[in-house]
């Protein structure tokens, strides 16, 4: 046992500091747990096929989904806009109670007219299905994720743009992305109870 009163006091102070820090860490872990439970992890290897949006998102898109938030910084080029349209097609066909889709992206400084026209066309088309489509721009976003109102969050390392270009227009994968080769990426699916609005 320590007999020096100064050293004893020093150790007691350190013990209290460590206990306080342990409580802070415990509280932080509890908060992170409430942020979501990992539901699924998928590693897509370079050149793999069979990873269409239906495979990645399909089992999470159901009648409980009323809202979809797509956070995708790069929706500038034609193929990137087409990827958003494909995800919207899947959501509309799978989620019979879908009422709202929001896209958070970065504004294309070079070709804003084309980007804006594409979003306006998609907005008008979704209105025909009684779905509101809203685009918001952020200059500081980097994360890529799709948040569903049934509590699921799908994070894809490369975002929606993980497909390789089709070598020709007349082969499998030109339209059905189940056959399209992919770029290597990771997919993490979380269930976050606080996001569940159903």
Residue 151, φ and ψ in degrees, nearest 5: 105, -10
pLDDT per residue as tens digits for the range 124-175: 999 999 999 999 999 888 889 999 999 999 999 999 999 999 999 999 999 9
Distances 19 to 5, 16, 23, 28 between C-alpha atoms, Å: 21, 5, 6, 14
Name the residue among 145, 153, 154 with its Cα closest to residue 193. 153
Please determine, for residue 23, whether its predicted confidence score (pLDDT) is greater than 80: no
Q: Note the pTM of the prediction, 2 decimals.
A: 0.80
Q: According to the model, what pLDDT value does residue 8 have?
A: 85
Say what the pLDDT of residue 20 is: 80
Q: Model confidence over 177-196: pLDDT tens digits?
A: 999 999 999 999 999 887 77
Question: In angstroms, what is the C-alpha Rg of the chain?
Answer: 23
């Amino acid at each position: 046992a320590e007999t020096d009163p100064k050293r004893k006091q020093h150790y007691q102070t350190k013990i209290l500091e460590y206990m306080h820090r342990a409580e802070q860490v415990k509280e932080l872990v509890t908060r992170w747990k409430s942020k979501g439970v990992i539901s699924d992890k998928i590693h897509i290897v370079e050149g793999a096929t069979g990873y269409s949006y239906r495979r990645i998102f399909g089992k999470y898109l159901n009648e409980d989904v009323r809202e979809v938030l797509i956070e995708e910084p790069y929706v500038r080029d034609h193929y990137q806009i087409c990827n958003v349209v494909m995800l919207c097609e899947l959501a509309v066909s799978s989620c019979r109670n879908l009422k709202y889709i929001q896209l958070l992206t970065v504004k294309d400084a070079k070709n804003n007219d084309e980007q804006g026209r594409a979003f306006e066309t998609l907005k008008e088309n979704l209105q025909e299905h009684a779905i509101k489509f809203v685009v918001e721009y952020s200059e500081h976003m980097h994360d890529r994720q799709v948040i569903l109102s049934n509590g699921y969050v799908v994070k894809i390392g490369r975002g929606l743009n993980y497909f390789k270009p089709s070598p020709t227009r007349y082969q499998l994968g030109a339209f059905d992305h189940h056959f399209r080769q992919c770029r290597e990426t990771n997919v993490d699916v979380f269930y976050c109870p606080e996001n569940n609005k159903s």
